[in-house]
Amino acid sequence: MGILFVLFAVLCFSALYVLVERSQKCKADPMGLNLVAFAAAALFSVVAAGGIRSGHFPGLLLAIGGIIGLSAGLGLLGITLAVRSGLSISIVNTGVSLSLVVPIVLSLAIYGEVPGARKAVGLAFAAASILLIQRERR
Amino acid sequence: MRRGMLWLAAGFVGNGFAQFLQKYLHAAGLGHYQASALIAMYATGSLFALALLAGFQGRLRGIEFASGLGIGLCSYLGNFAVLRALGDLPAYTVFPVVVGGPIILVALYSWLIMGERRSWQARAGIGCGLVAVVLLTL
């Protein structure tokens, strides 16, 4: 059953990029798109959680969740505007997927968590990928 | 194209910082409040998007509603499926497929359906990105 959920998640995240690309072909406003996407996801998550109870929202959770929301909001807006600027969704998707690097680098800087050999090679591939994507069309 | 790369960088940083903070949520002992964290994240993202919409005088028409609803649904269902999959499968199986899968599917969509022809740098960049994602999530 787990693998079906994995494949479903792959389809959902792929469809998300295709929808962003189609919306920008139709000249949808990125700000309006961002608002409806987040409001809809908020509504779905409230319904799935069976409503909102104040005891489920400690202050620290609200603070961290709020900053995650701001970061994710900037992330979706960046994706939409990058596609609108003419970048291919395959390039945008790859570039944004490489943001996996950020938690590893921040964990190294803040917690002193040194990545193992496999992650170090992964970081090298990520750097090569970013350089190659940047060089396209120069 | 340069502006597109800047927006892609914003998407990279925004998503990467959000992932790091999700890790911090677990480190702060709030990992079992996942449903509440999703609500807080999407609600704050909505407020951020509303402020941007008002500040930059964005538009809300049928195309923004239709596309935004689809994007919000894909985002929520994708995250929900990942959480359910993690209940059955180890993270080292789930994340390489969930992050790497859309890179392949979206690249195939761009190539086979949109008929895009990428330079060798872009193709190599996507390939390196896929390898990086698998190595970083294993």
Summarised one tens digit per residue, pLDDT across range A102-121 is 888 888 888 787 888 888 88
Closest Cα in chain A, distance from residue B91 (Å): 11
ipTM of the complex: 0.85
pLDDT, chain B, mean: 86
Helix/strand/coil (H/E/C) assignment for every residue in chain A: CHHHHHHHHHHHHHHHHHHHHHHHHCCCCHHHHHHHHHHHHHHHHHHHCCCCCHHHCCHHHHHHHHHHHHHHHHHHHHHHHHHHCCCCHHHHHHHHHHHHHHHHHHHHHHHCCCCCHHHHHHHHHHHHHHHHHHHCCC
Of B20, B33, B73, the CB nearest to A40: B73
Q: What is the pLDDT of residue B88?
A: 80
Regarding whether A123 and A97 lie in a shared domain, the answer is: yes
A1 and A13 housed in the same domain: yes
Q: How far apart are CA B129 and CA A130, in angstroms?
A: 8
Please count the residues of chain B.
Answer: 138
CA distances from B22 to A14, A21, A68, A89, B10 (A): 22, 27, 7, 25, 18
Asked if B37's CB is within 8 angstroms of A100's CB, the reply is: no
What's the confidence (pLDDT) of residue A137? 55
pLDDT at B129 over 70: yes
Q: Cβ–Cβ of A36/B67 closer than 8 Å?
A: yes
Residues 6+ apart with CB under 8 A from B28: A60, A64
Does the pLDDT of residue B101 top 90, yes or no? no
Q: Are residues A94 and A134 in the same domain?
A: yes
Do A74 and A122 have their domain in common? no
Tell me if A33 sits within 8 A of A80, measured CB to CB.
Answer: yes
**Which of B2, B64, B114, B121 should be substituted to probe chain A, the one whose Cβ sees the most A Cβ atoms within 10 Å?**
B64
Mean pLDDT, rounded, for B48-57? 92
Co-location of A12 and A45 in the same domain: yes
Output the pTM of the full model.
Answer: 0.85
Report CB contact under 8 Å: A41, B89: no
Q: What is the arithmetic mean of pLDDT over A40-54? A: 87
Mean pLDDT calculated for residue range B20-33: 79
Tell me: do A124 and A72 sit in the same domain: no
Q: What is the distance between the alpha carbons of residues A82 and A78, in angstroms, rounded to a whole number?
A: 6
Residue A138 has pLDDT above 80, yes or no: no
DSSP code for A136: T
- The per-residue pLDDT for range A60-105, each reduced to its tens digit, is 989 998 999 999 999 999 999 999 998 888 889 888 888 888 888 8
Total number of domains in chain A = 2
Question: CA-CA distance, B15 to A72, in Å (whole number)?
Answer: 6
Residues A82 and A115 occupy one common structural domain: no
B8 touches chain A (CB under 8 A): yes
User: Do A121 and A75 sit in the same domain of this protein?
Assistant: no
pLDDT band at B1 (very low <50, low <70, confident <90, very high): low
Closest CA of chain B from A66, distance in Å: 5
Do A59 and A35 belong together in one domain? Answer: yes
B4-15 per-position pLDDT tens digit: 889 999 999 998
Domain range for A132: 87-138
| Mean pLDDT of the region B110-130 | 85
